């Protein structure tokens, strides 16, 4: 097996960095990107870090026509003492391969993908913002690039990682958001692609989101696609409710995204001795809890959204105001603990933080490991 370095070509045209105090979500991109090609029969090859640039793709590339693509989202944090941390990055690359299975895309080597990410971050480390509530959002994604209009798995792919310094996902920041429960449209059904992180799930969500935004709601809460009854997830996050002292979240059922923040929150709640369960939750149960005065808190979780308190649910022409439209005690504690673990200001009893240093980053990749 011959040793192969990730070929790194540094940009000679560095961009000005955005104001860290006014960072929007996903609008600015760093100076470099990682890219590796896949060719049927040859596997993944030619890993490289290159200046951030547009892609040149044949208009018949399959991704444009049939949406054979997957993506991930994770973040890097710069601590007060200038250490760089990732949060459970192994879980993202594992989930990427899970999505790959569903979309008939060849697996990537998870360890090598993580090494490539670390190298990319080190190249662009000056882009990691340090202000409160900011981070470097990481978007790994795979696209099918074979020029072919037949409906079949592509024979060529590109796996790319781009980086974006970000502030909070919602303009509200940590102020509670308003969410409309969706009655007309569905996101996916069990047996569909809901569990995979693939663009089509998000494309199909846009119509409902557009309608709800027009009437003042940030996103929609999806109900299951078969009975239109059970709660699944919100546009870009999983959802939790605190009812009468217990925190509940919909159990994973094949159409809900297995959020890494969701999993972390369940573990944190157990650690905090707050009762938590994963189960089927109907919208009727939430409505009843609201009427009975025991719907104490609601919040969404996600990499982009972190913990996003929900101050109002719109359902059946009624506004269900949660906790007077204010962030709840448990939501605030979860936010403080999670972000503290992520940015290095709090202890990490779970071993979730992964430090990125030149010493912990392997400088060479072995070509054989990229080939399947
Ligand atoms: C994330 O939270 O990282 C996501 O991928 C959600 C995205 C659609 C903004």
Determine the pLDDT at residue 370. Answer: 36
CA distance 277 to 237: 18
pLDDT tens, 212-263? 999 899 999 999 999 999 999 998 899 999 999 999 999 999 999 999 999 9
> pLDDT by residue (tens digit) across 86-117?
999 999 999 999 999 999 999 999 999 999 99
Q: What is the DSSP string of 319-335?
A: EEE-GGGS--HHHHHHH
CATH 3.40.109.10 fits 177-326, yes or no: no
**Spatial contact of 193 and 202, defined as CB atoms under 8 Å apart:** no
E-only strand ranges, 135-192: 135-144, 156-166, 177-181
The kind and range of the H/E element at 246 are strand 246-250
Cα(2) to ligand 1 centroid in Å equals 37
Three-state SS at 277: strand
Can you tell me whether residue 169 is helix, strand or coil?
coil
Q: Which residues contact 179 (CB under 8 A, 6 or more apart)?
A: 217, 218, 219, 220, 221, 234, 300, 310, 312, 313, 314
Our answer on whether the CB atom of 73 is closer than 6 Å to any ligand 1 atom is yes
Task: Please work out whether the CB of residue 236 comes within 6 Å of at least one atom of ligand 1.
Answer: yes
pLDDT at 170 (0 to 100):
81
Could you tell which of 177, 219, 302, 338 is best to mutate to test the pocket of ligand 1, judged by most ligand atoms within 8 Å of the CB? 302
CA dihedral 111→116→122→124, nearest 10 degrees, is: -140
The DSSP code sequence of 31-42 is: SEEEEEEEETTT
**Could you state, in order of their start, the residue ranges of all structural domains in the chain?**
5-171+351-371, 177-326
Tens digits of residue pLDDT in 239-248: 999 999 999 9
- What's the predicted TM-score (pTM) here? 0.94
304 close to ligand 1 (CB < 6 Angstrom): yes
pLDDT of residue 234: 95
Report pLDDT digits (tens) over 279-302. 999 999 999 999 999 999 999 999
- CATH class of the 5-171+351-371 domain in this structure: alpha beta
For the Cβ of 302 lying below 6 angstroms from any atom of ligand 1, the answer is: yes
């Amino acid at each position: 097996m011959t040793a192969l370095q990730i070929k790194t070509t540094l940009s000679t045209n560095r961009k000005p960095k955005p104001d860290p105090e006014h960072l929007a979500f996903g609008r600015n991109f760093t100076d470099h990107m990682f890219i590796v090609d896949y060719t049927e029969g040859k596997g993944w090859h030619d890993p490289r870090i290159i200046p951030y640039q547009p892609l040149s793709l044949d208009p018949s590339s399959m991704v444009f026509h049939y949406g054979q693509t997957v993506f991930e989202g994770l973040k890097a944090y710069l601590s007060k003492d200038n250490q760089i941390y990732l949060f459970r990055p192994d879980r993202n690359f594992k989930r990427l391969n899970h999505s790959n299975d569903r979309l008939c895309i060849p697996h990537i080597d998870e360890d090598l993908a993580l090494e490539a990410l670390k190298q990319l971050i080190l190249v662009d480390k000056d882009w990691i913002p340090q202000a409160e509530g900011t981070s470097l959002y990481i978007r790994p994604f795979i696209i099918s690039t074979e020029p072919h209009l037949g409906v079949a798995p592509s024979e060529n792919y590109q796996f790319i990682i781009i980086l974006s310094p970000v502030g909070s996902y919602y303009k509200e920041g940590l102020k509670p958001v308003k969410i409309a429960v969706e009655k007309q449209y569905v996101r996916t059904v069990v047996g569909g692609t809901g569990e995979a992180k693939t663009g089509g799930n998000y494309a199909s969500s846009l119509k409902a989101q557009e309608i709800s935004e027009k009437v003042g709601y940030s996103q929609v809460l999806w109900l299951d696609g078969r009975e239109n009854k059970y709660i699944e997830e919100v546009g870009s996050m999983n959802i939790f409710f605190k009812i009468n002292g217990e925190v509940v979240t919909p159990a994973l059922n094949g159409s809900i995204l297995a959020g890494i923040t969701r999993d972390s929150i369940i573990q944190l709640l157990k650690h905090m001795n707050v009762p938590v369960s994963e189960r089927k939750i109907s919208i009727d149960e939430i409505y009843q809890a609201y009427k009975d005065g025991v719907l104490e808190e609601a919040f969404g979780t996600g990499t982009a959204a972190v913990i996003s308190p929900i101050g109002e649910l719109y359902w059946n022409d009624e506004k269900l105001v949660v906790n007077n439209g204010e962030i709840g005690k448990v939501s605030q504690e979860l936010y403080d603990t999670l972000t503290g673990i992520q940015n290095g200001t709090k202890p990490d009893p779970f071993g979730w933080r992964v430090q990125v240093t030149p010493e912990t980053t392997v400088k060479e990749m072995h070509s054989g490991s990229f080939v399947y």
